[in-house]
């Protein structure tokens, strides 16, 4: 069985110019926007006391995004907020004016009209963009990479978007979406990755994810956990990871949690960049084959990368078995713990923390991260069973790939 690969962060610091994006005051504005939606509710924070005791931790908590807006994943938070920020700028209004009532009303048609939002996705981000576009009377065009499963394609189509599955990997689909947006009147690319010259919309998407992290921080505090000692967060392009790490780094500037960044081994561009130790990111090419479809991204978001190089403690390249094991553990919890339906990209943290706490092969990393009975660990389950057939094959039948 392939081992988890890991490297501690020894990169030089940058000027950290993107960290202010995730200041608490800004994220409270984001949450105010999301809370204007009738579909909004705070997603659960599962407290796994039995599992924490078994693994030798002080506490283990899982933010369960399978309940988000009825879409089974967190991604809608970023797409909807970025859409609102774009429209606010075009109409000369503030984000405070971008309530659900205004954005779904006739006045928006008079003030703004209609635009077409282009994006690339493995499923969850595109579905979120398509859902928001449909609710707000806009258009969406979604490009999906080869190997996209039918269920994820159907989910996006049901939201009214124009959808294609292209014979390309995710990163090439991003380029196609950007090129189409550039030659379309009132076309805008809405992507959660970022590159030189394309940073504004990704920063809005990152801030959109902040609603989830703000909720988690408040839920932990309600459980008398003022500060998690460790936060494990998965990364594709690094937008979510940058949001989570950035928010908690702002919230606890003098004593932040330890941050562990987890990627699919076949698409571990952040891990490869950290291995360089010089602060430069790496790009991973090819098919990026993994069961963790949402993490199959080989080119980093430069905003997320900059936050992570300054604040992450360790980068991990995780084989598929880590996610599969995490899915089973969350689905069949110890007595007294709640079950969490976590998909392939959502459960990797559970598999990783289990390995670190129980397998002597990772004793050095466990010690470096100071994981022990005093640790309070936060995991993010970013999605539910977005591919139900695959979920059952893994959880019921024991498939690891």
H or E element, residue 6:
strand 5-8
Enclosing domain of residue 92: 76-191
**Judgement on whether residues 181 and 253 belong to the same structural domain of the protein:** no
Residues 80 and 65 in one domain: no
Q: Is 13 a catalytic residue?
A: no
Q: What is the pLDDT of residues 64-79, one digit of tens each?
A: 999 999 999 999 999 9
pLDDT digits (tens, 9 = 90+) for 343-361: 999 999 999 999 999 999 9
| Domain shared by 45 and 128, yes or no | no
pLDDT average, residue stretch 12-25: 98
Last residue of a domain, one of 191, 224, 255: 191
Q: Is residue 265 part of a domain?
A: yes
pLDDT in tens, 178-188: 999 999 988 99
For the CA atoms of the chain, what is the radius of gyration? 20
Q: In 70-102, which positions are buried (b, 16+ CB within 10 angstroms) versus exposed (e)?
A: ebbbbbbbbbbbbbbbbbbeebebebeebbbeb
Say which of 64, 122, 172, 320 is annotated catalytic.
Answer: 122
pLDDT at site 121: 87
Could you say which of 63, 75, 135, 366 is catalytic? 75
Residue 104 tokens, joined:
């779904």
Q: Quick one: pLDDT at residue 287? A: 84
List, in order, residues 6 or more apart from 218 with CB less than 8 Å away: none
* Per-residue CA distances from 30 to 44, 102, 137, 343 (Å): 19, 16, 21, 26
The overall longest dimension of the chain from CA atoms, in Å, is 64
Provide the 3-class DSSP secondary structure of residue 188. Answer: strand
Tell whether 63 and 179 lie within a shared domain: no
Band (6; pLDDT cuts 50, 70, 90): very high
In a domain, 126, yes or no: yes
Active site residue 122: yes
User: Are 83 and 28 members of one domain?
Assistant: no
Residues 330, 368 within the same domain: yes
Q: Which one of 191, 218, 242 terminates a domain?
A: 191
Average pLDDT over residues 65-94: 95
**Interatomic CA distance for residues 34 and 76, integer angstroms:** 10
Same domain membership, residue 66 and residue 115? no
| pLDDT, tens digit (0-9, with 9 covering 90-100), for 300-352 | 999 999 999 999 999 999 999 999 999 999 999 999 999 999 999 999 999 99
- Same domain, yes or no, for 61 and 154? no
**Strand, coil or helix: 120:** strand
The pLDDT value given to residue 279: 96
Asked if residue 123 has pLDDT above 80, the reply is no
Find the CATH number of the domain harbouring 264.
3.40.50.1100
| Residue 65 burial by Cβ neighbours in a 10 Å radius (0-12, 13-18, 19+) | buried
Phi first, then psi: give them for residue 174, nearest 5 degrees: -60, -45
Domain count, the chain: 2
Task: Tell me what pLDDT residue 149 has.
Answer: 86
What pLDDT score does 124 carry?
A: 84
- Would 333 be classed as within a structural domain? yes
CB 129 within 8 A of CB 140: yes
Same domain, 211 and 268: yes
Average pLDDT over residues 225-236: 97
pTM for this model (two decimals)? 0.95
Question: Has residue 133 been placed in a domain?
Answer: yes
Q: Is residue 197 part of a domain?
A: no
Looking at residue 190, its pLDDT comes to 93
The pLDDT mean for the chain works out to 95
Taking the C-alpha atoms of residue 373 and residue 231, their distance in angstroms, rounded to an integer, is: 15
As a whole-number percent, the residues of the chain with pLDDT over 90 amount to 90
What's the pLDDT score for residue 151? 87
pLDDT value for 136: 87
Final residue belonging to a domain, choices 167, 191, 215: 191
Residues 218 and 267 in one domain: yes
Residues 64 and 83 in one domain: no
The mean per-residue pLDDT over the stretch 286-297 comes to 91
Considering the domain architecture, whether residues 239 and 373 belong to the same structural domain is answered as yes
**Would you say residue 196 lies in a domain?**
no
In a domain, 182, yes or no: yes
Structure tokens at 72: 């089974």
- Is residue 295 a part of any domain in this protein? yes
Crossing angle for the helix pair 24-35 and 200-222, to the nearest 10 degrees: 90
CA end-to-end span of the chain, whole Å?
12
Average of pLDDT values for 349-377? 98
State yes or no: pLDDT of 401 exceeds 80. no
pLDDT in tens, 132-175: 999 888 999 999 999 888 988 999 999 999 999 999 998 899 99
């Amino acid at each position: 069985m392939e081992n988890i690969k890991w490297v501690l962060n020894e990169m030089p610091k940058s000027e950290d110019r993107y960290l202010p994006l995730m200041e608490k005051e800004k994220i409270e504005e984001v949450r105010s926007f999301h809370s204007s939606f009738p579909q909004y509710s705070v997603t659960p924070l599962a407290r796994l006391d039995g599992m924490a005791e078994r693994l030798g931790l002080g506490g283990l908590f899982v933010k369960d995004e399978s309940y988000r807006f009825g879409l089974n994943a967190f991604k809608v938070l970023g797409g909807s907020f970025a859409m609102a920020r774009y429209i606010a700028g075009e109409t000369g209004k503030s984000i405070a004016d971008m309530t659900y009532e205004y954005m779904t009303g006739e006045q928006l048609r008079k003030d703004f009209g209609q635009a077409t939002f282009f994006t690339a996705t493995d499923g969850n981000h595109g579905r979120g963009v398509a859902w928001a576009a449909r609710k707000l009377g806009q258009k969406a065009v979604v490009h999906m990479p080869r190997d996209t499963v039918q269920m994820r394609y159907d989910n996006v189509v049901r939201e009214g978007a124009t959808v294609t599955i292209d014979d390309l990997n995710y990163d090439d689909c991003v380029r196609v979406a950007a090129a189409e947006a550039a030659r379309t009147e009132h076309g805008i690319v809405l992507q959660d990755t970022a590159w030189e010259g394309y940073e504004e919309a990704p920063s809005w998407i990152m801030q959109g994810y902040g609603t989830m992290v703000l909720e988690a921080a408040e839920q932990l505090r309600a459980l008398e956990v003022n500060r998690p000692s460790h936060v494990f967060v998965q990364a594709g392009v690094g937008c979510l990871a940058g949001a989570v790490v950035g928010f908690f780094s702002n919230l606890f500037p003098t004593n932040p949690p330890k941050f562990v960044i987890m990627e699919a081994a076949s698409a571990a561009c952040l891990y490869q960049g950290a291995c360089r130790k010089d602060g430069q990111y790496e790009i991973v090419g090819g098919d990026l084959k993994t069961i963790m479809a949402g993490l199959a991204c080989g080119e980093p978001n430069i905003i997320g990368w900059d936050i992570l190089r300054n604040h992450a403690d360790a980068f991990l390249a995780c084989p598929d078995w880590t996610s599969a094991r995490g899915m089973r553990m969350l689905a069949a919890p110890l007595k007294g713990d709640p079950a969490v339906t976590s998909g392939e990209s959502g459960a990797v943290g559970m598999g990783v923390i289990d390995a670190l706490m129980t397998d002597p092969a990772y004793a050095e990393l466990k010690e470096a991260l100071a994981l022990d009975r005093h640790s309070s660990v936060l995991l993010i389950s970013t999605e539910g069973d977005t591919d139900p057939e695959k979920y059952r094959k893994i959880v019921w039948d024991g498939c690891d790939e």
